[in-house]
A and B are shown apart, each in its own frame.
Chain A
Amino acid sequence: MADDIESIEYVTSLSRPAKGCAGNTGEWRVFKPVKDDSKCNNCLICWIYCPEACISKEGINIDYQYCKGCGMCAEECPTKAIEMIKEDKF
């Protein structure tokens, strides 16, 4: 078991579990979720609803390397602490 692609040195006919098997899926993102710490009450709703496992349970940190920007966290946040902001590169 490996945590990321770089740490796998050889390949066999089996697929191995690795983070980012589709590359850095953060590149797919058009809107970026940005959390406002002052509004966040740590209810964990965004964590449980993230389909990509990109939000950490401890501290509610968003992993921008893999976040696809679906916006489910911002939609479901009861305190509206997450805002979807358009990425600069687009």
Chain B
Amino acid sequence: MVTLKSLPEEELFLAGSTACHGCPSSLALRIAFKALGSNVLLIVVASCTSVLQGSYPFSAINVPLLNMAFATGGASASGAVAGYKALKKRGEIEEEPTVLVWAGDGGTYDIGIQSLSGAAERETNFIYFCYNNEMYSNTGTQRSGATPLGAWTTTTPAGKPQHRKDIAQIMIAHGIPYVATVSLAYPLDFFQKMQKAKSIVGTKYIELLAPCPPGWKFPSSKTIEVSRLAVQSGMWLLYEHENGETRFTAATKKIIEGKVRKRPVKEYLDMQGRFKPVLEKPEGKEAEELLERKVTESIKRLKGWVPEYI
């Protein structure tokens, strides 16, 4: 059994980075490196992580790192994996490093989806990690394909009228060997899923809900609490998909089994300033009910339910 005491002490994400206070991406990098070890090639597509790794000539990340263009997550991983394969064939390296793509939701949901889809179809052996902060936080909190219904962003000042798409399901539809969702509030679950992803050959997709304090408008000390409430309210479901089966994990499993009561979505919305504009309006109640329905629907879908119109 994995406990906090058994996690490695070595830090590959070095202190004193350029990240904001309470940044979920820097914390996620720390935990991911603990699971993957130092034999990793990190490919960062344009996102907050391009900034928080530090400015030239220093870097806060103590593994080889490539900064790539926004749309090239999957494509650059394919190139790197092919390159390492050739080096191993020539006998220049003993072990092929784990290729880890680190992308935000903009680089995954919107701009990077075609190269990710291509890499998954080619069965490239790499881990694609999406830290989803539900907006383009790096460029000033604009709307993205991951922004939930009713959330404020600079381009949806009255609240987003559409709900986010479910990219983990899109990746499951690719038939890749491993898809998982993780949360910062459950670090051991996160650690184990990263370790499992490392041990599997093929394309692995892992997605994290990354509450962004400046973008979501909550105090920097609440990052973990917001992550936890997202899981407990069902707005973020923890599961892993392997061999054609979806298995719920951590708190989501307990909620689905009925051991723990699901908390209302309202509690999660109230914690964040980005839902204030819509909740203050008369339509706020409607948006809240719609989100609650979306949660029920996504749980049903994950259990294998197919809507009637199909």
Pick the contact of B221 from A1, A8, A63, A75 — CB < 8 Å?
A75
CB-based contact B223/A72 at 8 Å: yes
CB-based contact B220/A52 at 8 Å: no
CB-based contact B9/A18 at 8 Å: no
- Chain B residue with the shortest CB-CB distance to A29: B21
B165 to chain A, nearest CB (A): 28
CB-based contact A21/B187 at 8 Å: no
A8, A24, A72: which has the most chain B beta carbons within 10 Å?
Answer: A72
Tell me which residues across on chain A come within 8 A of B59, comparing CB atoms.
Answer: 15-18, 21
Pick the contact of A15 from B23, B57, B225 — CB < 8 Å?
B57
Tell me which residues across on chain B come within 8 A of A84, comparing CB atoms.
Answer: 221
CB-based contact B58/A21 at 8 Å: yes
| A65: Cβ under 8 A from any B Cβ | yes
Pick the contact of B24 from A19, A22, A23, A51 — CB < 8 Å?
A51
B286 to chain A, nearest CB (A): 33
Interface residues of A in 10-47 (CB under 8 A from B): 11-12, 14-25, 28, 43-45, 47
Tell me the bound Cα distance from A44 to B8 in angstroms.
Answer: 12
CB-based contact B7/A71 at 8 Å: no
CB-based contact A28/B58 at 8 Å: no
| B155: Cβ under 8 A from any A Cβ | no
CB-based contact A52/B19 at 8 Å: yes
Cβ contacts B87-129/A at 8 Å (1 or 0 each): 0000000000000000000000000000000000000000000
Tell me the bound Cα distance from A75 to B19 in angstroms.
Answer: 19
| B30: Cβ under 8 A from any A Cβ | yes
Interface residue count on the B side (C-beta < 8 Å): 39
| A85: Cβ under 8 A from any B Cβ | no
Tell me the bound Cα distance from A53 to B8 in angstroms.
Answer: 13
- Chain B residue with the shortest CB-CB distance to A68: B21
CB-based contact B17/A58 at 8 Å: no
Cβ contacts A49-71/B at 8 Å (1 or 0 each): 11111100110000101101111
Pick the contact of B57 from A16, A24, A45, A65 — CB < 8 Å?
A16
- Chain A residue with the shortest CB-CB distance to B62: A17
CB-based contact A21/B4 at 8 Å: no
- Chain B residue with the shortest CB-CB distance to A15: B59
- Chain A residue with the shortest CB-CB distance to B63: A17
Tell me the bound Cα distance from A25 to B52 in angstroms.
Answer: 12
Tell me the bound Cα distance from A63 to B5 in angstroms.
Answer: 20
Pick the contact of A16 from B5, B15, B58, B220 — CB < 8 Å?
B58
A83 to chain B, nearest CB (A): 12
CB-based contact A25/B60 at 8 Å: no
Cβ contacts B1-14/A at 8 Å (1 or 0 each): 00011010101011
B115 to chain A, nearest CB (A): 24
Pick the contact of B220 from A21, A50, A70 — CB < 8 Å?
A70
CB-based contact B58/A18 at 8 Å: yes
Tell me the bound Cα distance from A19 to B17 in angstroms.
Answer: 8
CB-based contact A53/B13 at 8 Å: yes
Residues in chain A within 8 A of chain B (CB atoms): 1, 5, 8, 11-12, 14-25, 28, 43-45, 47-54, 57-58, 63, 65-66, 68-72, 74-76, 84
Taking A5-B58, A17-B62 as known contacts, 10 extra A-B pairs with beta carbons closer than 8 A to each other, sorted by chain A number, are A8-B57, A15-B58, A18-B58, A18-B59, A47-B4, A51-B24, A51-B27, A53-B13, A75-B221, A76-B225
8 CB contacts below 8 A, A to B, read: A20-B16, A21-B18, A22-B16, A24-B16, A48-B31, A63-B15, A74-B221, A76-B225
The 9 closest A-B pairs by CB, nearest first: A21-B54, A71-B221, A20-B16, A21-B58, A70-B22, A66-B15, A51-B27, A70-B21, A15-B59
